[in-house]
Structure 1
């Protein structure tokens, strides 16, 4: 089973990227790190189909059986980097594929708006967006960057639900 985690932060350092790689260590998952990928600004023109990064993104998405989308919340929405990456993909990349949504906010009240935007885009792409979701805020992390006990419990719960929808629970052995 191929799980693809799309880390929607353009930042090289930050909690969204940290969450993506922590999740990939617990699941058989590959990370598309948008801070390392140089995608052009989507314009819908055919010449963009020949850009190697676009081809790579589409190839990995075609091969994926399930997705986790992670985004920081910027100005009450998902990151432009994530939206731009998703604009290069289409219904065929996501149809019937479980998709888990997670957001990382800078404040104690953020995150839900980026989740809601991702849910709308997921519906437009015919992704099977799972009902549960997870928002990380600054209180979700210890000083060393590890998850707190409370968020660790939620991560385990959400990953179990996600793997259930993906039909993976018996075979994955999600580590908590």
Structure 2
């Protein structure tokens, strides 16, 4: 299965990006292809549906990756009870054609104990884009989020262990992959 993960941080080595890398490594170990788009490394122009913006290399990569994906993962840091601005900007470029009928796993990292507000907002966006929210989500908060900072480039398929979060992430990823497979087989 072809999965795209979009990380919504504008900071290098962010915990939310590390969480996406960690989950992607688990998915790869299950035999799936995962492409991660780091908005820190691939900044997008502020959303405007102009020809100039739609021809921006980062926007073209985003659109193509989502068109080719069978399933989607969205990760964000929680800022002021919401998703990051860079993630919202990227989502504005996407539409129902990119999400319709696809399983979507949402994940957040937060300074507090949990990042529920950002996850609720992401799930509302996914519903409006006709994606199918995974019944489980991932929220990593407090000091635990620091264990995900700096995780990057786990392309080999062998994930680094974060024992305190392993079961939570594994459970959500398993649920997501089951949902994605069932939707793909419909």
With the length of structure 1 as denominator, give the TM-score of the two structures. Answer: 0.88
Counterpart check, 1:158 vs 2:163: no
Q: CA deviation at 1:156?
A: 1.0
Task: Report if the CA contact (8 A) 1:8-1:16 is conserved.
Answer: yes
**1:62-105 residue CA offsets vs partner (Å, 9 max, x unmatched):** 00000110000001000011111111111000100000011100
- Structure 2 gap ranges (5+): 150-159
* Among candidates 119, 131, 134, match of residue 123 of structure 2: 119
Counterpart check, 1:59 vs 2:73: no
Counterpart check, 1:68 vs 2:73: yes
Counterpart check, 1:5 vs 2:8: no
> Are residues 80 and 24 of structure 1, via their aligned partners in 2, closer, same or farther at CA, if it must alter by over 3 Å?
same
- Structure possessing the higher relative contact order (Cα contacts under 8 Å, 6 or more residues apart): 2
With the length of structure 2 as denominator, give the TM-score of the two structures. Answer: 0.83
- Structure 1 gap ranges (5+): 169-176
Moved over 6 A (4+): none
Q: CA deviation at 1:144?
A: 8.4
